[in-house]
């Protein structure tokens, strides 16, 4: 980890962009568990979540697929999970919803939930 990564919370990776067209292949058929960030373009809390999502995508690369979808562009996906507000974080394993958070969540909360639901079960 370089100094800049240290200052900004660690290495970052862009999440997988999910839409109504690729949802089945990227999420339902995923070999890995999935964390999905449902966001909206006019949502300031969603923008505040971006660094956290990118850090988690890098941290769990190869273990957990981290994706995101704009609720305005992926209306069917948002409706499928009853997303009524943004940000909403969805945790899925083999296409089954196993966790959900509404509103802004600090990195440590999502990190603990990923470890509890997905990583500790592997060990």
Residues known to be catalytic: 43, 46
107 burial (CB, 10 Å; 0-12 / 13-18 / 19+) is middle
119 burial (CB, 10 Å; 0-12 / 13-18 / 19+) is middle
Question: What is the DSSP-derived secondary structure letter of residue 43?
Answer: -
Please choose, from the candidates 83, 86, 4, 77, the residue with its C-alpha nearest in 3D space to the C-alpha of residue 43: 86
Listing from the earlier edge strand, what are the strands of the sheet with 34-39? 16-17, 65-70, 34-39, 88-93, 96-102
């Amino acid at each position: 980890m370089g100094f800049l990564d240290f200052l900004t919370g660690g290495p970052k990776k862009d999440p997988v962009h999910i839409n109504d067209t690729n949802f089945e292949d990227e999420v339902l058929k995923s070999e890995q568990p999935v964390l999905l960030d449902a966001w909206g373009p006019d949502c300031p809390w969603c923008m505040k979540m971006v660094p956290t999502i990118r850090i988690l995508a890098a941290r769990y690369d190869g273990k957990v697929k981290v994706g995101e979808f704009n609720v305005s562009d992926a209306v069917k996906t948002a409706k499928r999970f009853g997303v009524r507000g943004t940000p909403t974080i969805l945790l899925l394993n083999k296409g089954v919803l196993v966790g959900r958070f509404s509103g802004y969540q600090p990195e440590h909360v999502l990190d603990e939930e990923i470890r509890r639901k997905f990583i500790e079960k592997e060990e």
